[in-house]
Structure 1
Amino acid sequence: MRTVLGRPDFRLLFVAVLASMAAESILLLALAVWVKDLTGSDGMAGATIFAIIAPMTLAPLVGWFVDRYRRRPFFVAANLGAAVLLTPLFAVRGQADVWVIYVVAALYGLSYITLTAVLSGLIRHLVPSELLADANAVLQTVRQGLRLVGPLAGAGLYAAVGGWLLAALAMAGFLTAAAVVGLLRVTETPPSGADLRWPAELGAGLRHLAGEPALRRALLGYGLGSLVMGFTESLIFAYVDQGLRREVAFVGVLVTVQGVGGLVGALLSATVVRRTGEVGALAAGVTLFGPAALALAYPRLWLGVVALLLAGLSLPLTMVGLNTLVQRRTPPALLGRVAAASEALVSGPQAVSIGAGALLVGVLDYRLLFALVGMITMAAGAYLWHARHLSPPPPSAPARIPAPRRPPPSVDHEVAVATRRSRGR
């Protein structure tokens, strides 16, 4: 990671993404809390998260649009747009204005897909292939660190200062990201946007994902795991209530433990990619989720802490493995569409599984569901592990070879030099 952070262009991008991710992290939970405060309804608060996820269906269109423009100016424009779309929140006064929060949440979800797609292309443009895993690992470290504090900080700020000031702080984050990336000096060839006709090119990202063996296997395996991973979003509440016999607020403690595991996983992820390849890292991440879920089927606090650490460790391994694979196996002209499509193919099953988990936990024993999650994710991990040969470990950055040191002069050599000097006088 130190090598990639030593690049001045990537350091600027890192600062910009830090500001943008901070804005995202404080908004995610705060919008739902705001709806809950105005309506008193858990269902309407949960619908806020659905409004953020729903625009994933537009991912192919978003990716096609991103691929028509140069990455740096588009990233600047997308962050400026994210700041502007938050301005309607200043008009929210009461329950009758909840629809405004839903509209902003949906637009925010759309901007999230856009920023994800353009960021993937910008990283690919700035960073050489052998450092892509390190670059993705650095950004995952930031994301996992913000997961520790961002949502809780957003909810706390909302309680302390209200939704309008929180929106202003988030706007400041997006504006900072736009300003910092505006300082980047990169040479980009304008895409041939005139040739990208939407009827033919809209599905090009999905066709590439289906036609490239490593990407196809990665998304099939990860998609299988994602169909049950989302169950844990609801199961963790039953685990704390029925299993540990603790107040629901204790979930926050376990989420913090998971965040610590996420930080460790982010720091290790580049090394895992270099040792096992991108599909291997993805397989390791999905597989680790299996024993974590199985351990949560047996309610003991010490075992739960270990399980949440493993679950946290798994997430950055999967994301760094998948993102690096997409960047390495996709032509630059297609990267926006492929990145957006892969994000939708991962997030879609997760959204379905979150809803399914909320329904199933009401009719089935949570321990049985955790066991089911564990078995399916380990099967998905094994399916991916057997395909790791499709993405062998990337070549390392060329090492600097030190210049050969001259051997020290012998005594006879020194005598000869002194004799020549004396004769020349």
Structure 2
Amino acid sequence: MTDDTATAENDVGTNREALAVRPFRRLAGAWVVSNFGDSALYITAAIWMKDLTGSNSAAGLTFVALGLPALFAPLTGQLADRFPRKNVLVVNNFAAAAIVLPLLLVHDSRLLWLIFVSIFLYANTGYLTAAAQSGLIRAMLPDRLLAPANGLLSSIDQGLRIISPLIGAGLYALWGMDAVVLLTAACFLATGLVLVTLQVDEPAREPDPDETFWRRTTAGLRFLTANVRLRGPLLTVFICIAATGMINAVAFAAIEYGVHKPPEFISVIVSLQGVLAVAGGLTASRVIKFVGLETTMAAGVGLSGLAIALFATDSLMLFCLGSCLLGLGITWMIVAFVTLRQTETPHRLQGRVSAAANLAFNLPQVFTAAVGASLLGLVDYRILILATTLACLLSMIPVLRGRRRTARGAPEFSQKS
């Protein structure tokens, strides 16, 4: 690594500097509002489905409807790259508000299909928001402020995931699902109105050299796997996120047989993880400033591996400590990877590369959760946890190897396209 590139990587701004940029401050405010509505809906919808049908399977299918749009992420990424991203975000938030309103028509199990259709379409808007927002942040901020900006948005997301589901469940208990739907629609409508006022100079659209629809759609995935600096970190994230899927599957067994708590104790674990995830978002830029992007990723993965190992103990204190460390480690890893991806990706590909990365984040988690659930009846949950720990720690190798290759001469940060 040259002195210039080392200096560039260590030139990381602060959270305060990122918030001093007026367009980003407005975008962050809009993110608070939209995430509040989103977090209030996604858990409450599953509770509602359970009440309508009395079926745990039907409630679980709600999460399937929320997760399936990951398969279409390359298409949503192409939308984010084809049109001005501010306009995409505005239209998308207005669309999300309209998409959830048909849920007001559902009062019994005869219209279950409408719930699944609405939830599926609604989940697609989330992937489009992620793809368009990533490119917009890249356009409005210099490289040195990307890490604190991503950390702040992550903290907002994680913080609202602690608070909003409780508010959504409370509204549902008091006034029914209509109140939750109207709250969510109002949040997305307000977000769209805030984003209309956003002033940002986006770079001019560049011609796309990929002529066929297939090549344009897969351009993001091909860029991720071909870029020397992104290839190793992508593999690291893929493996580590897949490991968290296994933990999701064995969590209830670990709570029941390990620390001997009722299933409801999962809410405490999720809250602890969320609090430290907020802290991880707020501190990520400072860690990146001192040790760099890839090393921050490796540190996050290492913390996550240690955290997962603690879930195999019967100590309540260590179990809770594991939840805290997992929230911190995963957040450091994600913030560092997203910042690295943004800096390495040309402007014309920001949406598609972001969408491809989201696909790599979500699908392995779903797969390993299914595998873990099927193995629980055959294998002791502690063996699954220790195997997951080993996989997570081994996933540090690709990012550290990539770091060494970069140090031998590959450019640390690309210029904006």
Is the structural similarity TM-score above 0.5? yes
Could you tell me which amino acid in structure 2 is paired with residue 91 of structure 1?
Answer: L
CA deviations over 1:255-282 (Å, ceiling 9, x no partner): 1111121122111111122223222222
Shift of 1:394: 7.4
Distance 2:405 2:122 in 1: 36
* Superposition deviation, residue 136 in structure 1: 0.3
SS state of the match for residue 198, structure 2?
coil
Matches of 2:37 and 2:28, distance apart in 1 = 14
Identity percentage over the alignment? 34
> What is the rounded CA distance, in whole Å, between the counterparts of 2:248 and 2:96 in structure 1?
27
8 Å Cα contact 2:84-2:202 kept in structure 1: yes
CA distance in 2, matches of 1:19, 1:74: 17
Could you tell me which residue of structure 2 aligns to residue 170 of structure 1? Answer: 184
Q: How many residues align?
A: 395
Q: Secondary structure at the match of 1:121?
A: helix
SS in structure 1 opposite 2:201? coil
- One-letter code of the match for 2:27? L
Residues 240, 301 of structure 2: 8 Å contact kept: yes
Match of 2:121 in 1: 107
- In 1: Cα distance, 2:374 partner to 2:77 partner: 33
* Superposed CA offset, 1:166-205 (max 9, x none): 0110111111111111111223345257877423311111
Q: Matched residues in 2 for 1:59 and 1:366: separation? A: 33
User: Helix, strand or coil: the match of 1:387?
Assistant: helix
Give 4+ residue runs of structure 1 displaced > 6 Å after superposition.
193-196, 391-395
Residues 128 and 394 of structure 1, relative CA distance in 2, 3 Å threshold? farther
The residue aligned with 1:411 is none
Q: Does 1:11 align with 2:25?
A: yes
Amino acid at match of 2:163: V
Corresponding residue of 1:98: 112
> CA shift at 1:76, angstroms?
0.6
Does 2:51 align with 1:45? no
- SS of the equivalent of 2:197 reads coil
Stretches of structure 1 that go unaligned for 5 or more consecutive residues are: 396-425
1:149 aligns with 2:156: no
**Equivalent pair of 2:245/2:365 in contact (CA under 8 Å):** yes
Give the Cα–Cα distance (whole angstroms) in 1 for the partners of residues 269 and 201 of structure 2.
45
Pairs within 5 Å for 1:80-95: 80-95=94-109
Deviates further, 227-236 or 304-313 = 227-236
C-alpha change, 1:390 and 1:92, in structure 2 (3 Å) is: farther
Counterpart among 265, 268, 271 of residue 280 in structure 2: 265
Structure 1 distance, partners of 2:279, 2:320, is: 15
Q: What is the aligned partner in structure 2 of residue 402 from structure 1? A: none
Q: Is the 8 A contact 2:148 2:282 kept in 1?
A: no
Structure 2 residue aligned with 1:126: 140
For the 8 Å contact 1:289–1:377, the answer to whether it is kept is yes
After TM superposition, give the deviation of residue 339 of structure 1 in Å: 0.4
Report which of the two structures shows the higher radius of gyration computed on alpha carbons. 1
Letter in 1 for 2:333: T
Match for residue 292 of structure 2 among 274, 277, 280: 277
Q: 1:290 aligns with which of 305, 316, 319?
A: 305
Matching residue of 2:193: 179
- For the residue of structure 2 that corresponds to 1:386, the secondary structure is helix
Given candidates 395, 407, 412, the residue that maps to 1:380 is 395
Tell me how far apart the structure 2 counterparts of residues 122 and 335 of structure 1 sit (CA, whole Å): 9
Within the alignment, does 1:312 sit opposite 2:327 as a pair? yes
What amino acid maps onto 1:59 in structure 2? A
Instruction: State the partner residue of 2:385.
Output: 370
Structure 2, unpaired ranges of 5+: 1-14
Cα displacement (A) at 1:296 = 1.0
TM-score by length of 2: 0.90
How many Å separate the matches in 1 of 2:60 and 2:241? 20
- 1:76: which partner in 2? 90
Q: For residues 40 and 115 of structure 2, what CA distance do their matches in structure 1 show?
A: 15
After superposition, the C-alpha distances for 1:273-314 in whole angstroms (9 at most, x for unaligned) are 222322222222222111111111111101111111101111
Equivalent residue in structure 2 for 1:301, among 316, 319, 322: 316
For 2:300 and 2:160, the matched residues in 1 are separated by 20
User: Is the contact made by 2:140 and 2:202 (CA closer than 8 Å) also made in structure 1?
Assistant: no
1:413 is aligned to none
SS of residue paired to 2:82: coil
Q: 1:391 offset after TM fit, Å?
A: 6.2
Separation of aligned partners in 2, 1:249 and 1:374: 25
Match of 1:256 in 2: 271
Residues 208-223 of structure 1 correspond to what in structure 2 (within 5 A)? 208-223=223-238
Per the alignment, residue 341 of structure 1 pairs with 356
User: C-alpha displacement at 1:57, in angstroms?
Assistant: 0.9
Superposition pairs for residues 29-44 of structure 1, below 5 Å?
29-44=43-58
User: One-letter code of the match for 1:308?
Assistant: S
**Scaled by the length of structure 1, what TM-score is found?**
0.89
Query: Separation in 2 of the partners of 1:20 and 1:372?
Result: 38
**What is the match of residue 252 of structure 2?**
237
Match of 2:12 in 1: none
Question: 1 CA distance for matches of 2:88 and 2:28?
Answer: 17
What are the Cα deviations for residues 329-351 of structure 1, in whole angstroms up to 9, with x where unaligned? 00000101000011001111011
Change (3 A) 1:19 1:382: same
Secondary structure in structure 1 of the residue aligned to 2:200: coil
